[in-house]
Copies of this chain bind each other. A is one copy, B any other.
């Protein structure tokens, strides 16, 4: 969650140019908790950057991931989602409506246990939980009452 000045510095330091598109995509990711995919980012930026193409979004998220500014998520859908919150946290997906929320719990102990028991050098991890969100639970209950 860096400000534009820091992002500019980092991009330059890593040998990339700083363009309005790149800043806009990173800012769009900072200003949402929806964990959007490429198309959702595209639709959000469309009013402000009407000529921006999906190709630019894909190329940009690759770079942002490469320089460690974003995480790439795959919750089991056909598209990837992107997250500007790079602190260690898990994700939970509603199997009814598809929303993806953060779980701000630190699983350091689990990771340590794996690192000590596995023959791998463990660098990174990704935890996904699946269930029914509060809103969908409410909807399902009211439907059950009607029928």
Contacts and interface: CB of A to CB of B under 8 A. Distances in A.
Contacts of A128: 125-128
**For this complex, into which size category does the number of interface residues on chain A fall?**
20 to 34
A103 B118 contact: yes
A49 interface: no
B119 A134 contact: yes
A32 interface: no
Given A117-B105, A119-B133, A122-B129, A74 B76 contact: yes
B120 A113 contact: no
A6 interface: no
Contacts of A133: 119-120
A65 to B, nearest CB: 11
Interface of A: 72, 74, 76, 90, 92, 94-95, 101, 103, 105, 107, 110-111, 113-114, 117-134, 137
